[in-house]
Structure 1
Amino acid sequence: MIKKILPFLLLFASITYAQHTIKGFMSPKIESDWVIIYKIEGTKQAFVNNTTLKTDSLSIGGVNQAVRSFEIKLPSSAKSGSYRATYRLEGAGFVDFFYNKEDISFIFNPDYPQESIAFTESSENILYSNYINQSSNAQQKLDSIQVAVLQNNNLNLKDDYQKAYINFKAIQTQFEKEGVNKYVEPFIKASPRKNSEKLITSVDDYLFQMKNTFFDRLDFSNEKLINSSFLTNRILDYIFYINYSDDLKEQQELYKTSIETVLSKIKSDAYKRDIIQFIIEQFEASKNLEIIDYLFENHYSKLPISIQDQKFKEEKMALFATEVGRIAPDFSWQENGKTLKLSTLNDAENYVLVFWSTSCSHCLREIPELHTYMANKPNIKVIAFALENDAFVWETYQKTNLSGWHNVLGLKKWENKTARTYQINSTPSYFVLDKKKQIIAKPNEIKDVKDFLDKM
């Protein structure tokens, strides 16, 4: 009896604890020395493993070429899903692939990773890669005919379009059949655009059709799609490319409308939170405070309190607290026996807030220059916030050199609470404020201060 059961136990053990290998080859070779494997989980990445890159020789087109390569064994506990191999911190520095309990091998150009990746091992990835290549070519054929007609309505390309449309549908049907019960099945189903069955002759009608069918195949409740870059890439396309205008004011409204559309598709509060955070981080690069505020006020703050990430919210609010357009964070100080506050100052039309220090050589050169320059600007008041470790030198300096200014002492220097709020990491740092204490400029140097004020 034991002899009969033993082979099954050995087979079960080999299946349960099998480890699979990820092999990658980069051509042309690059200078990077490392690669990290992550599992994509929603809008985040979970570390799996890492290794160093080797220099190898590989036959490409019958010619031996120097390549960079890596080989990583996934832990036996690794789950099926979307994975990412990262080899650079900036630019095009990663490739995505699917793992479903099989060895994977691929080669790619590290400067154009996703466009060039070719799989030599892994039935799942080979299938999906073939699908993407064939469906993309078929889509390009359809688009070329459609664009030609939009540019010239007199062209008679109905038959050509119909043939291309039938071909595209056939490719989609073929791969959907081949993908049944495979990990990539939902990706194949979700990938194609919904093309019109007939040629469209109006640009407005074409754009309307594209926008209004964009999400028809996307299932925002599918865990495989959620835990990949697929949905986030589609969201970026919809917000930043499908909804575009050259007019800045109109573009802001398009952003808001497209965000509303995206978020209306998501039923899970936890996933909606992650997507809102993801979108906020995209607008962070352009410092689009209007849209960031809109996302926090109209969506993030309306999520259940239990799933809101208060640390994320506080960090982002602090990050943008001193950007142009914000009301300058308030602070108070003692002056001539009185307590003054930035928010209630009312002795000028504009203000220059400068963070400086008596131990800063640049400051000791620029502050006197600013003092001389401001003597001819009676409607502009300077608030000189000195970051010091003690008051001794500052007390003497400000009395003899900075008359007519509001002089503020900030002890603990870089650890000063106000300096941290304003994210001061160098001195001098300048802020120009209007009468309501809204930040209207953040000049880099004294010459930039003068240029800005001279134009007011």
Structure 2
Amino acid sequence: MKKVFAIAGLMAVSSLSAQFKINIESAATFTPKEVYLYTLNGSKDMLFTKAVRKENTWQISVDKPYSGMMKLYFPEANASINFISENRDVKMKFDADKGKISNIQYLDQSNALMNSLQDAQQKREYILPALHQIKEYYPPSSDFRKALETEIAQLSISAQSMAANPFVSYYQTNYAKFVDKKNASSLTHSEIINFLSNTNDLLETSSLLRPVLISYLNVNPGADLSADVDKLLKAVNTETPRGQTVLSELIEIFDIYEMKDLKDKYLTEAKNLKCTINERLSKTIATNVNTEVGAQFSNYVFNQATNTTAKSVYDVKADRKVIVFWASTCSHCEADLPKLIEKYNAMKAKKIEIIAFSLDNDRDAYNNKVKSLPWINDTELKGWYSTVAEKYNVHATPTYFVLDASNKIIAKPSHAADVISYLSL
């Protein structure tokens, strides 16, 4: 029995050991302590784990197989680094300039290859064919010919390197075929459906799913888009995880591009599914349901609110509340917010309050702007990583909600003029 237990214990230890490790080294001048690691599901970053700095390094153990895009996010600096995993150890280092990440060096073979391929993409397209022609005019033994061959070798994709890096190969091949505008314009619906239905699980971790779907929607513009989407969803089967992730992406695409009828149609289809729903689609359904007209606007505890002593949205007492999501870098906000400033005193007279959440990440830019905004302002200074962006299904700025006294959503105007009209100002 002891031997059996010993073997079982060994198996348990083995199963808990890391699939691969991520080693990050920063300049001493980069001061954040925590880093968050995200994996990818379609177009959504999924929080996997976090790590705390030890001297100038972070070490993260990934305990399950993963090949695909990953992201490091340093919340204290609101800075991120994108990289890939081939289910092998990852190593990188970077410098810092005034608290910002600079000069990222990818020290593992897979990320070095991916980085060099992306850097050399334009050179391969425009320069590589010319180099092949030019070299033929020089003797093989000449220094210039050797220099040309060295440059050609650096720009060429080695079949051996691609074979050793299946994710890099998958990304490069399918980006060129389905996303690159030179090729995507000649694709057919059938070709894209075949790819989405039959490709392997690297699709979900590659960041290609949403752009491939946009390529699909752009085939035969002006045709019956709803019928085309129905055809796609039938092929990928919305009772499967792949089909549900595709459905989730489509709902979000239609939401972003304000294609309300299509969004509502496929959101209803998602709600009516009788099978087990995967996590991705469940979140899409929940986020949309929680921000529909008639839904209770979920409470939010302020982070560093100005012009109020209230601690949260619910603490603000008003007959109606206008929730605004904006950013100091948003040109549409620059045009919209002054219209609300003009009407703010009239709003206050009618017991209407404005609560504005900024998706800024630069403290100085935010502070300079809110000096001129008389209403309640709050921000996490995390840009699109702000929790309010996902919590309230915000895809663009400005985004508006109007709440009643009990914090129920009673309207979702598109512009400041619509807010003013709805409130009869």
**Taking CA–CA contacts closer than 8 Å with sequence separation of 6 or more, which of the two structures ends up with the larger relative contact order?**
2
